[in-house]
Chains A and B, each alone.
Chain A
Amino acid sequence: MTENSQKPSVLIDVKDLNSGYGDRQVLYDINLSVNDGEILVIMGGSGSGKSTLLKNMLGLKEPSDGRVLVHGLDLSNASQSELLKLRRSTGVAFQGGALLSSLSVGDNIKLPLRQHTDLDENTISIMTRLKLELMSLADCEDLMPSELSGGMLKRAGLARAVIMDPKILFFDEPSAGLDPVTSVELDQLILKLRKAMNMTIVVVTHELESAFTIADRIAVLADGELVTTGSVDEIKACTDKRVANLINRSPRDVQIDAEKYLSRLTKGAK
């Protein structure tokens, strides 16, 4: 399904999205667009709904209401072949790498090329090594995923995500669980990828430093709602309490109902 009214510069358009798990709603009326060639960072604390939003944007989860358009294609109504075609031009780097544990790092990165192209093995090997060099993983081609560190797994996952030279790249939590130096290296890598391959990149993170370094625009999620969207300076200047709390790393102001608190403490006591 093609949206003719859509502006050509918008690659991903999230419209009135509601999503959840069973009876528990996680996202409320999200409206968000990602423009061609930009790096959009989706930022929010734990439980803010950013991973659920990413799943919806990837078409891995059906929204309970609203829709997600990628290249004008409504993910909920798209045919299987339309989805497959779209996914071949999209790369996803998962939080823990999500490398297939039964394949070596090299074979993991070669997998999309072997499955979707008729390229000969020599060309596939050269392309794989190019990406491994780019990610500083030149010596890791024959290692198994279990032999890599957390940062290396993320970079190998990124190498696999970009092996088909995708137009859009999604990156889930690039800095989570990494030391500051490796984290900065990954941020630089993301900027390098955008420059070299002119990709549109959507990054989900809760790391402020990383978001401020790489983002063209930042979307802030809190409690399943999109609080605001804007450039780094706009977000820094935002007066909304929830955004300010996130930026200033202030703990949430939790109101305690004394009666409910007591009843929780004494639950089951005789």
Chain B
Amino acid sequence: MFAQIEKLGASVIQKFEEVGRLSVFLYHTVLGLFSRPFGFQELLKQIAFIGARSMPIILLSGLFTGMVLALQFYDVLARFGSVDLMGSAVSLSLIQELGPVMTALMVIARVGSSTCAEIAIMRNEQQFDALTCMAINPYRYVMAPRLLAALISIPLLTAIFNLIGIFGGYVVGVFIKGLSGTAYMQTIIDTIIWSDLRMSIVKSFLFAVIIIWIAMGKGFFVHLEKGVSGAESVGRVTTKAVVASAITMLFADYIASSFLI
């Protein structure tokens, strides 16, 4: 009995320690944004990786999400005789909620996992020790460009997801269900207000920080994983990073929604 309470206590302390460690990590990374010389080349490389190369999955997932939303809303709205509101229903759902969340989930799967594994391997191969010994701050050189690249790319990816989703809804609503294209677009223009867009923007910035912070932080502290080392430790932290960023992102989504709606 006491042994189990002790075990529980130890694991709670461990979690708090980890949150503290990751918070200090984020603090140093943010400081790295303002240190010179800033790695512009690394920034461009990361924008290409996080942003440009995520475009195909964002376009595909956005299109299908919009199309499924339109099918479901058509069914529901038809019961109330309000199919004309299809444009507003699809666009509001996408802009306020599904755009930022689905984009974040796609980026976690594609970028979060690989960033975490890459940073963990760099740690295991002593690349951070090497940078420190060369008087190069790893936070400035490796972490800060990734954070800035995520802050630039993820909001743009979210905007693209929203637009392609609305287009997907248009395709189903107008070409399959026979609604008027003009009415579909007009209801969007009439319904969407600044606070809806603000919610999408705020959420996407928030999710960008969460995704890249957890991925980099988990990888950076891979050597502190207990009971594993080498390739196994990289696999374990990568899984943990993906799960932790998805859950933290959804929790932050709830908090942001409750403040912004």
Interface string of B127-159 (1 = CB under 8 A from A): 101111111100001000000000000000000
**A98→B129 contact, CB < 8 A:** yes
Min CB–CB distance A241 → chain B (angstroms):
33
Query: Contacting chain A: which of B70-78, B106-114, B118-126, B240-248?
Result: B118-126
**A87→B134 contact, CB < 8 A:** yes
Q: Does A84 contact B (CB under 8 A)?
A: yes
Question: Within 8 Å CB of B133, what residues of A?
Answer: 58, 60, 87, 90-92
Question: Within 8 Å CB of A189, what residues of B?
Answer: none
Interface string of B17-58 (1 = CB under 8 A from A): 000000000000000000001000000010000000000000
Question: Within 8 Å CB of A230, what residues of B?
Answer: none
Query: Which of B126, B130, B136 is in CB contact (< 8 Å) with A115?
Result: B136
Given contacts A98-B126, A98-B129, A101-B121, 5 further A-B contacts (CB under 8 A): A84-B135, A87-B134, A101-B125, A111-B136, A115-B135
Query: Which of B37, B121, B126, B136 is in CB contact (< 8 Å) with A94?
Result: B126
Q: Which residues of B, 70-118, contact A by the 8 Å Cβ criterion?
A: 118
Residue of B nearest to A86 (CB): B135
Residue of B nearest to A108 (CB): B130
Question: Within 8 Å CB of A95, what residues of B?
Answer: 126
**B132→A115 contact, CB < 8 A:** no
Q: Which residues of A, 72-125, contact B by the 8 Å Cβ criterion?
A: 83-85, 87-88, 90-92, 94-96, 98-102, 111-112, 115-116
Question: Within 8 Å CB of A60, what residues of B?
Answer: 129, 132-133
**A88→B135 contact, CB < 8 A:** yes
Can you list 16 A-B contacts (CB < 8 A)? A87-B133, A88-B135, A91-B133, A92-B129, A96-B126, A98-B125, A98-B126, A98-B127, A99-B127, A100-B122, A100-B127, A100-B130, A102-B45, A111-B136, A112-B136, A115-B135
Q: Which residues of A, 108-164, contact B by the 8 Å Cβ criterion?
A: 111-112, 115-116, 157, 160
**A101→B127 contact, CB < 8 A:** yes
Query: Which of A83, A90, A98, A102 is in CB contact (< 8 Å) with B130?
Result: A98
Distance in angstroms between the alpha carbons of A96 and B135 in the assembled complex: 19
Distance in angstroms between the alpha carbons of A60 and B125 in the assembled complex: 15
Distance in angstroms between the alpha carbons of A91 and B133 in the assembled complex: 7
Interface residues of B, Cβ cutoff 8 Å to A = 37, 45, 118, 121-122, 125-127, 129-136, 141
Question: Within 8 Å CB of A115, what residues of B?
Answer: 37, 134-136, 141
Given contacts A112-B134, A116-B135, contact A101 B122 (CB under 8 A): yes
Distance in angstroms between the alpha carbons of A85 and B126 in the assembled complex: 21
Question: Within 8 Å CB of B118, what residues of A?
Answer: 102
Interface residue tally on A, bucketed by range? 20 to 34
Question: Within 8 Å CB of B45, what residues of A?
Answer: 102
Min CB–CB distance B31 → chain A (angstroms):
11
Secondary structure of the B side of the interface? helix
Min CB–CB distance A203 → chain B (angstroms):
16
Min CB–CB distance B156 → chain A (angstroms):
23
Q: Which residues of A, 152-201, contact B by the 8 Å Cβ criterion?
A: 157, 160
**B136→A92 contact, CB < 8 A:** no
Distance in angstroms between the alpha carbons of A160 and B131 in the assembled complex: 11
Distance in angstroms between the alpha carbons of A57 and B121 in the assembled complex: 24
**B135→A92 contact, CB < 8 A:** no
Distance in angstroms between the alpha carbons of A101 and B122 in the assembled complex: 8
**B134→A111 contact, CB < 8 A:** yes
Distance in angstroms between the alpha carbons of A201 and B232 in the assembled complex: 35
Question: Within 8 Å CB of A112, what residues of B?
Answer: 134-136
Distance in angstroms between the alpha carbons of A58 and B133 in the assembled complex: 7
Distance in angstroms between the alpha carbons of A157 and B130 in the assembled complex: 9
Residue of A nearest to B39 (CB): A115
**A87→B126 contact, CB < 8 A:** no
Report which residue of B45, B118, B134, B141 has the largest number of chain A beta carbons within 10 angstroms of its beta carbon: B134
Min CB–CB distance B116 → chain A (angstroms):
15
Distance in angstroms between the alpha carbons of A98 and B118 in the assembled complex: 14
Min CB–CB distance A65 → chain B (angstroms):
23
Question: Within 8 Å CB of A160, what residues of B?
Answer: 130, 134
- Interface pairs A-B: 3 shortest CB-CB: A98-B130, A87-B135, A92-B133
Min CB–CB distance A60 → chain B (angstroms):
6
Distance in angstroms between the alpha carbons of A102 and B117 in the assembled complex: 13
Question: Within 8 Å CB of A91, what residues of B?
Answer: 133
Residue of A nearest to B142 (CB): A100
Min CB–CB distance B212 → chain A (angstroms):
16
Distance in angstroms between the alpha carbons of A112 and B126 in the assembled complex: 16
Min CB–CB distance A152 → chain B (angstroms):
15
Question: Within 8 Å CB of B141, what residues of A?
Answer: 115
Question: Within 8 Å CB of A99, what residues of B?
Answer: 127, 130
